[in-house]
Amino acid sequence: MTRQEKEQTHAEAEEHGEHGRTSMGEKLDQVLEPHLDEKSDNKLVGMLNKRHWRRFAWLEWGNIDPIKPEEQQMRHPYVIALIWVSMNLNVLSFSTGMVAPDMGFEFRYFSYTTLGFLIGWAIFPAAFTIFGHKLGMRQMVHARYSFGYFGAPVPALLTALTGLGYGILNAIVAGETLQAVSPHGSMSATVGIVIVTVMALAVSFCGIRVLNVLDMVFWLPVLISFAILAGEAKTGPEGLHVLPQEPRPTARNVLGLGSLLSGFYVSYASMSSDISMYYHRDRSSWLLFVISWIALLFSAPPILMLGAAFATSSQRVPAWNDAVSNNPSPGPLMNLVLSTHLGNFGKFLTVLIALSAASNMMTSFYSIGLCFQTALPPLRILPRFLFPLAATAIVLPLAIVGQTSFYSTLSNFLSVIGYWSALYVGVVIADFVVIRRCRMSSYDVSIWNDWRQLPPGIAAMTSCVLSLGLVVPFMDQAWFTGPLGKHVGDLGFELGLAVTFVLYCVLRPVEQRLFRR
């Protein structure tokens, strides 16, 4: 190749690179140009200048605006599946499984009940991933097509509250587990809470690209750590074991566990589209659904069962029982089992398990920002990556306070707000299956931000409010038991979903006739 040809090739490459940068710059312009004055003498405005921020093109700049098909470049559904795996393969799932004895379960019946419920509950978040994939919309923006422009802020705020609540629980459990690893508990749980929360902030700040990369690899060392934990616990009277004849749980116990697990999984449906909207629109929706369902089914249940195995066995192993009695978090028990046999390497594995809470928190922080923008549309002008800072500012102090003062109160609060997810899912399924007859083409993406053309949302909100008339009497929680719930158990989730579904199917056609939209 002659020198002249080389120079021409180099010039073409530079032109192509400049074109790529210009394309990214144009996208950033669309977000920043209406709101920033490039010629302003104000130093703060100058720092927020669009040219200044172009150097951070690796951040996810998108907000709640729907994306175009050409922006959906994710071609492999396993990326989404691994996000689900990383979210569920964590220390909070293990800690949740440890409630088995308190709910009247031994290991075998807990495992049967957990698997039976989650086979069904996992269908909802797996199915809702299709909306993001086919429409390119965030989950709470999609909610506008049933709840309306002014009604969608309600599920958006409830989704944000749920994410913040679980973020607080994750931070507390992780912090206490890290404290257990330190010599004689010398490190405060507060330090551990700060560590895991800052980790979640760093990743959620960057966006879905960095989140995808970490989720593709982080689950594996965590899975290996849990496997080693189970192996080092061994089996027999001084290890993991089951009773030859386990007492049968009551129907009330079974329904109570089902209620807990439904809040654990069904609430994911309110954020499913947020992690699937970049999946290529021409790819198979059925494949995405099946892989997501499998990922959900084989991530949390094994860890829930492992936690139940340790909790039920510890009742008959004195050393384990002492560890659990002194601290309700799983950290001391994990550290006892791993460090006794593996020394410092065992402590390292305990640290890995503790940090697994960050994988759930980072996805929640990512989704919380989108919920804020949907609930308060004026915030749409701000870049998405600023909102994880707000989520961190809320979670961090509440987690630090919650470790000593209102941990149980917060758990009860989460059990209450979990009921709303059943109402939300009932409305969305009724709207898509019955009203729209499963036609994605019935969604006009162009009206996503026009309240005059979106549904009024009266049918959806009325259906949710009226369904509470049956949900409340059938509730069975530690702080409140309905008159019917104390006899048959907690059927609030199941009835809430079913009644909301039926009511919406009746009320939405009436709303369409009255408002013509």
- Model confidence over 277-333: pLDDT tens digits? 999 998 999 999 999 999 999 999 999 999 999 999 998 889 998 888 877 788 899
- CA separation for the pair 244, 108 (Å, rounded): 10
Q: Would you tell me how many other CB atoms lie within 10 Å of the CB of residue 131?
A: 26
Q: What's the rounded mean pLDDT across residues 130-147?
A: 94
- pLDDT surpassing 80 at residue 57: no
Of 222, 208, 161, which Cα lies nearest the Cα of 358? 222
- CA separation for the pair 416, 260 (Å, rounded): 10
Q: What are phi and psi of 235, to 5 degrees?
A: -125, 165
- Name the DSSP letter for residue 445: G
Please report which confidence band the pLDDT of residue 184 belongs to, taking 50, 70 and 90 as the band edges.
Answer: confident
- CA separation for the pair 213, 236 (Å, rounded): 40
Mean pLDDT of the chain: 85
- pLDDT surpassing 50 at residue 47: no
- CA separation for the pair 47, 53 (Å, rounded): 8
pLDDT digits (tens, 9 = 90+) for 381-390: 888 778 889 9
AA letter at 510: V
State both tokens at 317. 């192993």
Q: What's the rounded mean pLDDT across residues 11-37?
A: 43
Look at phi and psi of residue 380 and say left if phi exceeds 0, alpha if psi is from -120 to 50, else beta.
alpha
- pLDDT surpassing 80 at residue 354: yes
Residue found under tokens 């494949």: 287
Least confident span in 47-51, 157-161, 340-344: 47-51
End-to-end CA distance of the chain: 65
Q: What's the rounded mean pLDDT across residues 333-339?
A: 92
pLDDT score of 405? 60
- Asked if 111 and 308 touch (Cβ cutoff 8 Å), the reply is yes
- CA separation for the pair 458, 9 (Å, rounded): 61
- pLDDT surpassing 70 at residue 61: no
The more confidently predicted of residues 9 and 100 is 100
pLDDT score of 22? 38
Q: Would you tell me how many other CB atoms lie within 10 Å of the CB of residue 293?
A: 20
Please report which confidence band the pLDDT of residue 263 belongs to, taking 50, 70 and 90 as the band edges.
Answer: confident
Q: Would you tell me how many other CB atoms lie within 10 Å of the CB of residue 42?
A: 9
- Name the DSSP letter for residue 72: -
- CA separation for the pair 309, 313 (Å, rounded): 6
- CA separation for the pair 108, 361 (Å, rounded): 30
pLDDT score of 12? 47
- Name the DSSP letter for residue 479: S
The more confidently predicted of residues 500 and 482 is 500
Least confident span in 10-19, 173-182, 236-245, 425-434: 10-19
- CA separation for the pair 317, 50 (Å, rounded): 62
- CA separation for the pair 143, 151 (Å, rounded): 9
- Asked if 281 and 132 touch (Cβ cutoff 8 Å), the reply is no
pLDDT digits (tens, 9 = 90+) for 139-173: 999 999 999 999 999 999 999 999 998 899 999 99
SS3 label, residue 473: helix
- The residues that bridge with 74 in the sheet, in sequence order, are 279
- CA separation for the pair 306, 408 (Å, rounded): 23
Q: What's the rounded mean pLDDT across residues 16-28?
A: 40
State both tokens at 188. 């405060």
SS3 label, residue 432: helix
Q: What's the rounded mean pLDDT across residues 400-429?
A: 78
- CA separation for the pair 331, 307 (Å, rounded): 12
- CA separation for the pair 64, 140 (Å, rounded): 9
311 Cβ contact partners less than 8 Å away, ≥ 6 residues apart: 97, 98, 99, 100, 101, 324
Superfamily designation of domain 69-440: Hydantoin permease (1.10.4160.10)
Of 12, 59, 5, 61, which Cα lies nearest the Cα of 33? 61
Q: What's the rounded mean pLDDT across residues 268-280?
A: 92
- pLDDT surpassing 80 at residue 37: no
Least confident span in 121-135, 382-396, 496-510: 382-396
Domain locations along the chain: 69-440
Least confident span in 228-242, 314-328, 329-343: 314-328
Percent share of the chain, pLDDT over 90 = 51
Look at phi and psi of residue 185 and say left if phi exceeds 0, alpha if psi is from -120 to 50, else beta.
left
- pLDDT surpassing 80 at residue 82: yes
- Asked if 490 and 476 touch (Cβ cutoff 8 Å), the reply is yes
Cα-Cα-Cα-Cα dihedral sign, residues 125, 399, 160, 217? negative
State both tokens at 362. 């980072």
pLDDT score of 407? 56
- pLDDT surpassing 50 at residue 23: no
AA letter at 285: S
pLDDT score of 224? 96
- pLDDT surpassing 90 at residue 439: yes
pLDDT score of 467? 95
pLDDT score of 25? 41
- pLDDT surpassing 80 at residue 411: no
